[in-house]
Structure 1
Amino acid sequence: MFLWALIVGLSFPAVGLMSEGLPPLFLTAIRFAIAAAAIGALVWRTPDHWPSPPGLVLYAVMGLCLAGFFGAMFWAAHQVTALSMATLYVSVPLLAYGLGRIIRVERPDGGLLAALALGAAGALWLAWAGNSGGNGSLQFSLGEAAFFLGCVASALYPVLSKWGLKRGWLSDSAALRTFWSLLAGGVLIGILGLAFEPAQALARLTFFDFLMVAYLGIFSSGVTFWLMQRGTGVLTPGAVTAYTYLVPFVSMLILFAAAPDEIGWLWLPGSVAVVLAIGLMLRRSANAPREAPAMQT
């Protein structure tokens, strides 16, 4: 999950390097196709690789969650900063815990809820610091709102994975679960692209853009969701997504290296809150094997 956080943190600046005006739905479909092809080549010869009918429906819903998040990311890439997207993405653990409680894949846990709320508060402060320009005014544009809805979809993905695993609808293989959800999402988002986006807009796709899409497909989609599925098999959705708290620091380091003058004391309160939340989650992770060996097994 540390590796997952590093890859996700690097993906936000990578999206911002792509050309403007590219169709986000088509880009997401291509990204999913590349990721599914890379993982499919590794798992296709495994036994029982075909999902059951209920599992196929659930994979389609999970694929739409992925498509909603990545479509929002591509759409918002040139309207909000990479740091704003990274910090808003830190709301995912709290959202995952709340959604998990609703469908009963999370147990009541006041300590976990407090740590998640602290991290979410710090992330929102960092998002405000990144958009206020030091003038104290809160700016929350349409781009941030759209990306936040994408974060809700992203939070729902591990919750549905855990729900399907508990009912035996999904494969025990993390790679197979990743493959089918990416494949289903790619097909569905491609259909939406044909309905709502001009296909000729893909003519603007440069060779560099294609390399970026391939990188995001293989690493930021395929590898990261395989890692998340690995974690979902043994942890709750809230605990898995709690590693999101590491994501904004990757983007902050990139911003500091590129434009150190943009980071000032206004960032301190949010940074302290996120660091404390990370420390609490790491402490909980270290104590988890002794406190709940049955759950770990």
Structure 2
Amino acid sequence: MTAEPETTGAAAAFEPLRPKLTRVAYRMLGSVADAEDVVQEAFIRWMKADHPAVRQPEAFLRRTVTRLCLDQLKSARRQRETYVGPWLPEPLVEEDQVDDVGLPLMLALERLSPLERAAFLLHDVFGLQFEDIAAEIDRDPAACRQLAARAREHIRQARPRFKVEKQRGLEIAEAFFNASRSGDMKALGAMLSADVAAHADGGGKRPAATEPVVGFDAVMRQYAVVAAWLKDNRSKLIRLAFINGLPGFVTLEADGELQTTALDIEDGRITAIYVMRNPDKLRHLH
């Protein structure tokens, strides 16, 4: 039995929009799996829609995805109140830098209300006009403008002041891997800024610091312990890459699990280290 022409046409119209919709959902939720689930739910609703009455399919679908994300963010906020240790977004591993929403900015977005986050992302990142955003989140354009302005004020410090050159960033990432795994503390110390901070997300599933480690001396002590442990528990470099827009790498650890490390770099020094160890957030990389 063949599919109805209208159903076939609706599915064909959706598929080119799926990557863009997934990008919106991921920036909203910080989870690859949740973003894919939201987009799939939007697809189901799209297939049931009155297609001749939908004049702008992309706007209809983006509105559906945004509202589903807003609903999900309400429960996600409650879940993160009981999360074990620092929460980091699921890592996106890419060959090239993606500038729109890097990892520090995604963490800053976590401090916003769901509506502030939606208004900021839709306007500042995806380029929608406030009149269009108003339809997406059921607020008037003036309110959307205020939401985006408040969000911008809150996250001003998280926007990158300048971007490290691609090859230089990957060179620093490789040098960091070599120094941290070999225990070359002199080389490691030369790469770190005075106010460096290390964040590790184990989610209670794998060993990780339950609070960010802040300051040069504290981070050096932590990595001295890590290096000693790694002598008998080898870590294998899988690839250098950009993790949520930051230079970093993917490793296979001694317990057989993957791990990602992302480095925020300013003036040639590492200012923040983000390590993802939670296996639930790394499944999509296998």
Using structure 1 for the length normalisation, give the TM-score.
Answer: 0.24
Structure (1 or 2) with the larger CA radius of gyration: 2
Question: Which structure has greater helix proportion?
Answer: 1
Using structure 2 for the length normalisation, give the TM-score.
Answer: 0.25
Q: Larger relative contact order (C-alpha < 8 A, sep ≥ 6)?
A: 1
Question: Which structure has greater strand proportion?
Answer: 2
